[in-house]
Amino acid sequence: MNKLKFTKDEGSDFYKELNERVEQYFIGKGIGKTGNKKMIFKIVLYLSLDILFYGLMITSPTTITFYIFYLLMGLSILLTAFNISHDAAHGVAVKSKFWNKFLFSLSFNLQGNNAYVWGKNHNESHHLYTNIEGSDIDVLNNPLFRMTENQNLKWFHRYQFIYAPLLYLLYSINWFFFREALMLINYSSRTIKIEIPKSEVVKLIIYKLFYLGYMIILPIYLLPFGWTTVLLAFLLNHFLVSLLFVGVLGVSHLSDYVEHPVPDQDNKLNMSWPKLQMCTSVDYNSDSTFLNWTLGGFNAHALHHLLPNICHVHYLEILPIFRELVKKHGLTYMEMPYRKSLASHFRFLKGMGTQQTFKPTPFEK
């Protein structure tokens, strides 16, 4: 991974004042930046729903109820990841370091994915060098998609905005079966190679087998529906989770409004770290109470990237401070309705598939 240097600009003063004002807010309220009683309720709620829907699925009397509860379980687990796993990975779901680590590891590993690898790369790569090829782990070099100008433009890329939704269905399947497995042999579609410690390799294999056991083998053994019914439910669950996951996160950093900055030969960017976060993140309906509750604040992505040390249950209260200071320091806050961010995502796919050089669209409210 290429480590980069940043340049001081208007974003530096903005970030300094933002931290000061936010700190004053929490001191004035006499509250902490980690999760509060609302967050504790959400943790209990979502983990209880995971267990409830699994119990109902594994005891389903009919095929229809089996499919319903299987998909509801998948949805509940995804919302658990949005609301609990993510904040726990940043150490802000609760006050205790132990319980943050426990919640993150439990919720992530039980999905058959490796918590250590994702947590380390998410915090030390994606958050630090957002959208920068060779530094951000989430920048892909997938031959079926052209996401950066450094990738060769192939004839079929002109259709990527059309076939993208079909491939998006396979996102979580690819993550579970191939993404981490290929990392074991030091191969990945990511622009950064990943080395996994041997102890984590063992955990990765054990948890993947455990996941297959309780999601496929146990239902086949306990229920009379046959292996084809269970396997279809497994696939439908991953299709649903994939579409929702990409739909929530893909529009934030893959948009024709955002930039993909390129450092100079000395690995220096011509902007500050705070400005990088502002020009690489799209927010949608960031003041929506419903989306804050269900998506764990992922719709306020710029705010999260700048203040990852704050639990998402506080976002709605500090959002006015954030907006005020963005305007004061002359920065651009790319905030829009979801439908506009989705349209922007597909314009990005179309533009990258037809233009050798693709320039971001100036954002105007």
DSSP 73-97: HHHHHHHHIIIIIHHHHTT-SSS-H
pLDDT in tens, the chain (365 residues): 678 889 999 999 999 999 999 999 999 999 999 999 999 999 999 999 999 999 999 999 999 999 999 999 999 999 999 999 999 999 999 999 999 999 998 888 888 787 877 787 787 788 888 988 878 777 777 788 888 888 889 999 999 999 999 999 998 898 888 777 777 666 555 556 667 778 888 888 888 899 999 999 999 999 999 999 999 999 999 999 999 999 999 899 999 999 888 888 888 989 999 999 999 999 999 999 999 999 999 999 999 999 999 999 999 999 999 999 999 999 999 999 999 999 999 999 999 999 988 888 888 87
Within a domain: residue 165? yes
Give the domain extent around 75: 10-354
The pTM of the full predicted model, rounded to 2 decimals, is 0.89
Within a domain: residue 191? yes
Smallest Cα–Cα separation from 349: which of 268, 282, 279, 256?
Answer: 256
Structure tokens at 125: 């790569």
Within a domain: residue 3? no
Q: Is the CB of residue 89 less than 8 Å from the CB of residue 112?
A: no
Within a domain: residue 169? yes
CA–chain centroid gap for 244, Å, is 11
Q: Is the CB of residue 280 less than 8 Å from the CB of residue 337?
A: no
At position 74, the amino acid (one-letter code) is G
At position 235, the amino acid (one-letter code) is L
Number of Cβ atoms within 10 Å of the Cβ of 178: 14
Within a domain: residue 362? no
In the chain, the number of structural domains is 1
Q: Is the CB of residue 38 less than 8 Å from the CB of residue 316?
A: no
Structure tokens at 37: 């009683």
How far is it, in rounded angstroms, from Cα 84 to Cα 45?
11
Within a domain: residue 364? no
Give the Å distances, CA to CA, from 201 to 197, 275, 292. 6, 37, 34
How far is it, in rounded angstroms, from Cα 169 to Cα 23?
41
What angle in degrees, to the nearest 10, is found between the helix axes of 63-80 and 37-58? Answer: 150
Name the pairing type of β-strands 283-284 and 335-336: parallel
Query: Residue 260: left if φ>0, alpha if ψ -120 to 50, beta else—which one?
Result: beta
Within a domain: residue 247? yes
**Secondary structure element (H or E) that encloses residue 283, with its range:** strand 283-284
Within a domain: residue 360? no
What is the distance in angstroms between the CA of the first residue and the CA of the last residue of the chain?
35
Query: Residue 91: left if φ>0, alpha if ψ -120 to 50, beta else—which one?
Result: left
Structure tokens at 80: 């658990």
